[in-house]
Amino acid sequence: MKVAFIDRDGVLIFEPQDDFQVDSLEKYRILPDVIDGLKELIDQGYKLVMVTNQNGIGTDSFPEEDFLLVQNKLLEDLRNEGIEFEKVFVCPHFAEDGCACRKPKTGMVDEFLKEIDLDKASFMIGDRDTDLQFAENIGVRGFKIETNSKFLIPRL
Ligand SMILES: [Zn+2]
C-alpha cells in the first residue's frame, strides 16, 4: 500500500502561532492547494493517513467537543471534495505525559503498519522536525513544508 502520512495543523489547516490549537470554527481554515494536492495523491494511488499531535484533548485546555467540531468539519469538507482519509490517528496527550503515541514516537501507527504491506513510495509530509523524525522512525521518506504555507506534494 502506498501511503501518504500527513500532519494536520500547519499543513492541511491553518495553525495559530499563539496557542497552536485549532479549537473553534473561527480558527479553521484549509490551507492553499490542499484540496488539489490531496486529489493528486489519490490519483497517484496513495492512501491518505493523518497523523497529528493535539495537546491535551479531553482536558480543560482543549475539550474534546472543541477538537471534534473542527476535526469533523475538516473531514466533511474533504469528503465533499471526494477526499477520504484511510486512517486518522490523533495523539491527545501533552509532551510531558510521556505517552507512546506522540510523534516522533510511532505508537499511533504501529498496529496499522503491521496490518499493511507498506510500499517504498510511501512518505510523510509535515512542518516540524518531529515529523521528519517520525518518518525516519517508520522507515519512510519525510518531506518538510513551511508551516501555514502552500501544500506541496513531493516529486519522487
Ligand atoms: Zn499520545
- Within a domain: 19: yes
- Within a domain: 156: no
Q: Is the dihedral of CA 55, 57, 58, 60 positive or negative?
A: positive
Instruction: Give CA separation, 108 vs 17, 55, 58, 77, 79, in Å.
Output: 25, 15, 17, 24, 23
Q: Domain residues for 78?
A: 3-144
Place of cell 501507527: 109
48 touches 151 (CB < 8 A): no
Confidence (pLDDT) at 156: 72
- Within a domain: 62: yes
Confidence (pLDDT) at 86: 98
Q: CATH number, domain at 25?
A: 3.40.50.1000
- Within a domain: 152: no
Confidence (pLDDT) at 102: 98
Q: Is 7 a catalytic residue?
A: yes
Q: Ligand 1 center to residue 76 CA distance, Å? A: 25
Place of cell 516529486: 155
Q: Ligand 1 center to residue 103 CA distance, Å? A: 8
- Within a domain: 117: yes
Q: Is 117 a catalytic residue?
A: no
Q: Ligand 1 center to residue 36 CA distance, Å? A: 30
Task: Provide the residue-wise pLDDT of the chain in tens; the chain has 156 residues.
Answer: 999 999 999 999 999 999 999 999 999 999 999 999 999 999 999 999 999 999 999 999 999 999 999 999 999 999 999 999 999 999 999 999 999 999 999 999 999 999 999 999 999 999 999 999 999 999 999 999 999 999 999 987
Tally of domains within the chain: 1
Q: Ligand 1 center to residue 92 CA distance, Å? A: 5
- Within a domain: 35: yes
Choose the catalytic residue: 7, 23, 127, 131. Answer: 7
Q: Ligand 1 center to residue 155 CA distance, Å? A: 31
Confidence (pLDDT) at 38: 98
- Within a domain: 127: yes
Confidence (pLDDT) at 155: 82
Q: Ligand 1 center to residue 85 CA distance, Å? A: 20
SS (H, E, C) the chain: CCEEEECCECCCECCCCCCCCCCCHHHCCECCCHHHHHHHHHHCCCEEEEEEECCCCCECCECHHHHHHHHHHHHHHHHCCCCCCCEEEEECCCHHHCCCCCCCCCCCCHHHHHHCCCCCCCEEEECCHHHHHHHHHHCCEEEECCCCCCCCCCCC
- pTM for this model (two decimals): 0.97
Instruction: Give CA separation, 9 vs 15, 95, 152, in Å.
Output: 5, 16, 15
* Residues 6 or more apart in contact with residue 8 via CB below 8 angstroms: 50, 52, 74
Please give the distance of CA 42 from its chain centroid, rounded to a whole number: 16
